[in-house]
Structure 1
């Protein structure tokens, strides 16, 4: 196995384990045993347990961004939003435990982990802002703040839904997709109807 393939294998094993238990309970020993390698070999690929956890978080963030990328075949920005949010809900539903662990676990207070989360949010915000001109709007500081606030709303609402769904998946999807135009309206930005 090439070094890159081995590293990817270890990260994938880590992602599997995070789907079953909190990140702080994913030990180097358990990963080494599952991979059939020595503990020392794992440290050949990762400087520390923290470095390994960061690699797991970065991989999950990349996977989520890939599956929620705007559909280039769609032209209507609101249809693009609907499509991306559908993919987001599906992704976090399938990766419920690991998503909750990263967003709410001890790792969320780590500066390196927060940087991954912040970078992921920045990509998500930029995707929305890239489509604002198609609505006949200008990207202003108010629009930027609204988009960033909406992303926080989406995260918190989705986490609440994952923790104990009291509404259906479709109701959640309708809520988070309708929230962005509503927030924009509250900020004095008129979003044209779909």
Structure 2
């Protein structure tokens, strides 16, 4: 196995484990055992447990971003937004333990983890701002800050939805997609 393939395999084991338990509970020994490798080999690919956890978080973020990539072929900006947010809600629902752990767990206070989260949010904000003109919205500092706030709203609302059985998926989706144009209108 090539070094890159082995590193990717170790991250895959970590991603599988974070689907079942909080990231901070995933030990180097557990990953090494699951992968059938020595602890020393794992440290060959990752300088520390924290570096391994950051790699898992980055892989999780990359998957979410790939899945939620806006599809311009859908034409209508609201349809594009709804499709992207639908994928986000489904991704978070399918990866609820990992998502909640990464956003809310002890790792969220780690500076390297925050960098992963911040970069991911910046990509999401950039996607929205790239489509703002299609909504007739000029990108201004006020619009930019409101989109950052909307991303936080989407994250928090979706996490709350995961623990609630009083709101349907469709209701959640309508709420988060309607909130963006409402925020944009408030900036005009």
TM over 0.5: yes
- The residue number in structure 2 matching 1:9 is 9
Aligned to 1:85: 85
> Offset at 1:146?
1.2
Q: Partners in 2 of 1:109 and 1:136 — Cα distance?
A: 37
- Listed as ranges, the gaps of 5+ residues in structure 1 are 190-194
Q: Determine the C-alpha separation between the residues in 2 that align with 1:167 and 1:186.
A: 26
Total equivalences in the alignment:
188
Structure 1 residue runs of 4+, over 4 Å off? none
Matched residue, 1:100: 100
Q: Please say if 1:140 is aligned against 2:143.
A: no
Aligned-residue CA RMSD in angstroms? 0.9
Matches within 5 A, 1:40-79: 40-79=40-79
What corresponds to 1:171 in structure 2?
171
Paired residue secondary structure (1:137): coil
Structure 2 residue runs of 5 or longer lacking an equivalent are none
What is the aligned partner in structure 1 of residue 30 from structure 2?
Answer: 30
The alpha carbon displacement at 1:133 in A equals 1.1
Give the whole-Å Cα distance in 1 for the aligned partners of 2:139 and 2:120. Answer: 20
TM-score (norm 2): 0.98
Partners of 1:164 and 1:9 lie apart in 2 by: 34
Q: Using the alignment, how far apart are the partners of 2:148 and 2:114 within structure 1?
A: 15
Please give the alpha-carbon distance, in whole angstroms, between the structure 2 residues aligned to 1:23 and 1:84.
26
